[in-house]
Structure 1
């Protein structure tokens, strides 16, 4: 048997990692400024994270959600406190796509409707409703296209008001900072307008924080830059620092019932141990503040590079836009400078998504390498 060939791969084989440092099978060291799609939030093999998972593995790795699991309760309490979202309930699953799938399903249950409003260049996952709400026809199979989704441009007030007033929608799903799409953001005025219109029309507002959450933007959630309160918040990526885990935060105004949502692996003991470790490190090392401060420092350094035409994003979720396609530059950064960066649907954009405990020295090294690669 061979692997189903769906990923274009760089010729790098990582075998060991610590912090933002990654070593390949030839002993070469790389610096990871991409974190595997913003997944590595507290650094590779953080000692507290490793200890937490090892201790739990020695006790018990898994049992289903048919029994009590105090780790889930502890995680919900810790997450509510650190995020400021105490008036939400937690449902755990295994990935960002599954989180958004459950969010959309719950919105449909709640409203009795099925149509969704999403936005141009959005990315919400690769499963049924989540991929239908993703603005990429090439990954939408005919079976996904049965879902009814209206795509609107960000910050188009008139188009949004016209659509939502048609009274056909169960949900609006929105990334506070677009990830794969290229770091575009709704304005505060637009986000607040969406929240107001959703309330008026009994439409569920879903904040997709799969990539922008967990401190990456310089606040726990990126929507918190805009002073709104979503009905459902989807989370994953940095939640487990590499352990597969996801979830949704559901406003307390939603009433649960047995069988409404379900999962076999979601919220398992190892997932909870990993997720608790991430929250503990975020708090103990003050990493959300670090993300905000180093995001500002990064932008200052970026402004010194004349080839960079635009800087997008917040905190340590940043896009550098050039006036040329960056595929060759990204390859040079890996092959010649031994640094991982990310791409986007916007082919002119280089994405920077490191662990939240990087330092100014790490950023200095990045820009030294970038300037060499641009020559």
Structure 2
């Protein structure tokens, strides 16, 4: 049976990984500066991660959410301690799309409203409401288009005010650093005014931290650079270092009721073990400090390359913008220099999303290769 052909594939077959490197079926070593869409947070095959999963699967890999699972409580408490998001509740699921789907559903439950405000170049997932709130008509099927969503420009505070004052908006959903869209950010004033408008208009303020969360921005969450308190925070990619896990942090003002949310696999024992190993490693190895140190070094080196027209993003969620499309550049980095990087909907942007424990020496390898390709 052939695979459904929806992914354009590079001719590389990774079979193992260690730290910031993956190795293909020919034994070739690749420096991974993309982490499979920012998923690899603590490095491939980190010993804490492999140990936690191995020990857990040898005891119990899965049971449903109909029973007690102390690992879920432990994970929730650890997220609260490291993120500083005190008092929130946690709902566990399996992916970023599922996290955003549940976030939007909660907002509609809480407010009794049905319209969503989202932003140009935003990406929130491929499920029903999440994809409707995504600014990409090519992935919105007619069945998704039934959702009531208004897409506005970033920094259009008058547009946000106008839409919220119509009284039917249940949620504003926003990435504080856009991922797929190309690392764009709004101003601090915009985020803070949107938050105030949500409060004034009985609208839930959803921070989509699926890609920017878990230390990638240089803080635990990217929204923490601003004076806002989201009603709902969606998380996923870096949470499990490759094991499928997502979650929604829910402000205590939103009351839980039996049956309002549910999932078969979300919060299973293996996922929680993976999630705890990631948080413990972030804490024990001071990885957020490393993010900020390496980010500063990366940006300083990037500024010395004249072909780079713009440096976007924060922390280790970075983009290098050129005055040409980067498709061929990425191929040369992969096939000639054995380095993985990422693209974006902005075809002139090279995305850099390495493990949070990447070193300056490994960044030097990248810039040496980049200069060779550019020159």
Q: Give the alignment's TM-score, normalised by structure 2.
A: 0.99
Q: Does 1:203 align with 2:203?
A: yes
What SS class does the counterpart of residue 193 from structure 1 fall into? helix
Q: Does 1:183 align with 2:175?
A: no
Query: Which residue matches 1:45?
Result: 45
Query: Which residue matches 1:370?
Result: 370
Query: Which residue matches 2:109?
Result: 109
Deviation at 1:164, TM superposition (A): 1.3
Q: Does 1:329 align with 2:329?
A: yes
Rounded to whole Å, the distance in 2 between the matches of 1:231 and 1:115 is 16
Deviation at 1:227, TM superposition (A): 2.1
1:96-245 counterparts in 2 under 5 A? 96-245=96-245
Query: Which residue matches 2:63?
Result: 63
Deviation at 1:156, TM superposition (A): 1.3
Rounded to whole Å, the distance in 2 between the matches of 1:15 and 1:366 is 22
Query: Which residue matches 2:280?
Result: 280
What SS class does the counterpart of residue 215 from structure 1 fall into? coil
Q: Does 1:14 align with 2:20?
A: no
Deviation at 1:354, TM superposition (A): 0.2
Rounded to whole Å, the distance in 1 between the matches of 2:141 and 2:3 is 21
Deviation at 1:258, TM superposition (A): 0.4
Query: Which residue matches 2:269?
Result: 269
What SS class does the counterpart of residue 59 from structure 1 fall into? coil
What CA deviation, in whole Å up to 9, does each residue of 1:277-312 have, x standing for no partner?
000000000001111111111100000110000000
Rounded to whole Å, the distance in 2 between the matches of 1:228 and 1:171 is 15
Rounded to whole Å, the distance in 2 between the matches of 1:372 and 1:252 is 53
Deviation at 1:133, TM superposition (A): 0.2
Rounded to whole Å, the distance in 2 between the matches of 1:353 and 1:298 is 12
Count of aligned positions: 375
Deviation at 1:76, TM superposition (A): 0.3
What SS class does the counterpart of residue 215 from structure 2 fall into? coil
Query: Which residue matches 1:310?
Result: 310
Deviation at 1:166, TM superposition (A): 1.1
**Root-mean-square deviation over aligned CA pairs:** 0.5
* Stretches of 4+ aligned residues off by more than 3 angstroms: none
Query: Which residue matches 1:301?
Result: 301
Rounded to whole Å, the distance in 2 between the matches of 1:206 and 1:126 is 17
What CA deviation, in whole Å up to 9, does each residue of 1:156-192 have, x standing for no partner?
1211111111111000000010000000012111000
Q: Does 1:359 align with 2:370?
A: no
Rounded to whole Å, the distance in 2 between the matches of 1:133 and 1:289 is 33
What CA deviation, in whole Å up to 9, does each residue of 1:97-156 have, x standing for no partner?
000000000100001110000000000000000000000000000000000100000011
Query: Which residue matches 1:36?
Result: 36
Q: Give the alignment's TM-score, normalised by structure 1.
A: 0.99
What CA deviation, in whole Å up to 9, does each residue of 1:208-247 have, x standing for no partner?
0000000000000000011211000000000000000000
Structure 1: segments with no counterpart, 5+ residues: none
